[in-house]
Amino acid sequence: MFERLGKRRFAALFRGQLQRQAAQINLVSVMALFGQNSSELEQSMRMLKYSILSIFAALLSVCACAETKVAESADEISPLLIGQFVPQVTVKTEFGGDIELMALIEKRPTVIIFYRGGWCPYCSRQMAGLVEVEQRILDLGYQILAISPDSPARLTAQRSSQDFEIIHLSDMSLAATVGFGLAYYVDDEMVETIRGQLGAEVVTLEDESKVVLPVPAAYIIDTTGLVKFAYVNPNFQQRINPNLLYQAARLSR
C-alpha cells in the first residue's frame, strides 16, 4: 500500500504536518532549555505528544483514503472528507501528457472541480458560472483544476474562451474519480440516454464493461494535499453556488 501511495505523497504529508507542528515542538525545546518548572514541563510535553499524534493521525487518514472502490449508485459513494489527504493519482493534460495530481497541488492551494463531462448540460452551466468568481479565487492565490472523464481531445474541443485560467484535466483512467471516492456505476438506461441524446463519451474501468461516472464535487486543498473544504452532492442537478465556493476558498486560506 505504501508503494502505491508513493514516496512523493508521504514526503508532502510529512512536510506539511511538520511545518504546522514545528512551532509547538520548538516551544517545548526552548522552555526546557530555560529551566521551566515541572508543571510547565508537563504541559509542554503534552503539546509535544499532541504534535506527534497529529502526524500519525494524518498517516492513518492517507491510508484510509487508499481503500476506495466504485459504488453501485451515486447515493452509496464514500467521498474524500475534510481532514483527509488526496490520493496519489495520475491524470492527463489537455495535450495528452501524464501528470501527477499532487505535482500540481504542491505548487499552490487548489480548488478542484469534479464534473461528469462536457456533454452534461448541468456541468456546462456550472463551468460557465465559475467565470463569476474565477478571478477572485485566483487573486486569493489558488489555482482551479477541473477534472472529468473526458478525453484530452474532447477537452481541447470543448474549451471555451470563457474558461480563462481554469486548468482542465482528463481522468479517462478514472484513477482520480475512484481515488476521491466519487465513482459510481451508471445504470444501463441512463447510459443509453447520455450516449443517444447527449452524445457522451463514457468510460469504463479496466477489465469491466459497466460505465462509471463521478459524482459532481468541489474540493479546496492546501499544498500538502489536505482537504480543507468539500462539497459533494449525489444529485447531479445540484451544484455548489459559485459565491459559496469563493467564500469557502477565502476562509480556507
For the chain, domain boundaries? 2-64, 70-251
Q: CA dist 18 to 24, 26, 54, 63, 150, Å?
A: 10, 11, 9, 18, 37
Give the pLDDT confidence score for residue 69 in this predicted structure: 87
Largest CA distance in the chain: 76
Give the pLDDT confidence score for residue 160 in this predicted structure: 59
Give the pLDDT confidence score for residue 14 in this predicted structure: 47
Averaged in consecutive runs of 10 residues, what is the pLDDT profile of the chain (253 residues)?
A: 44 47 43 50 50 46 57 96 97 94 97 93 92 95 96 81 76 95 90 68 66 95 97 96 96 92
Please tell me the class of the 70-251 domain: alpha beta
Helix (DSSP H) and strand (DSSP E) numbers for the chain = 9, 10
